[in-house]
Amino acid sequence: MVKVSISLPNNTQITFESEESEVLHEVVGMVLRDLPRDLMRSPSDSGGNMAVGTAEESTAVLASALSTATTTPEPAPPAVPSSPAANAPSKPSAEPSSGARTGAAIPPEFLSESGRAAYIAFCQNANPLGDMRRVVVAAEGATRHFGVDGVNAEELGWLFDVAGWRKPGNFTQTLRNAARSKFGWLERIPGRSGRYASTTLGLSKTIPTS
- CA angle, residues 170, 173, 175, in degrees to nearest 5: 110
Give the number of other CB atoms < 10 A from CB of residue 156.
24
For 119-172, write each residue's pLDDT tens digit: 999 999 999 999 999 999 999 999 999 999 999 999 999 999 999 999 999 999
User: Mean pLDDT in each 10-residue stretch from start to end of the chain (210 residues)?
Assistant: 72 73 68 63 51 46 49 54 49 36 61 93 95 97 94 94 95 96 95 93 87
d(CA 65, CA 59): 10
Q: Burial, 162: exposed, middle or buried (Cβ in 10 Å; 0-12, 13-18, 19+)?
A: middle
d(CA 93, CA 108): 26
CB 37 within 8 Å of CB 53 = yes
Q: Please provide the CATH number assigned to the domain covering 110-206.
A: 1.10.10
CATH 1.10.10 placement within the chain: 110-206
pTM of the model: 0.50
CB 165 within 8 Å of CB 158 = no
d(CA 194, CA 34): 81
The residues facing 197 across adjacent strands are 187
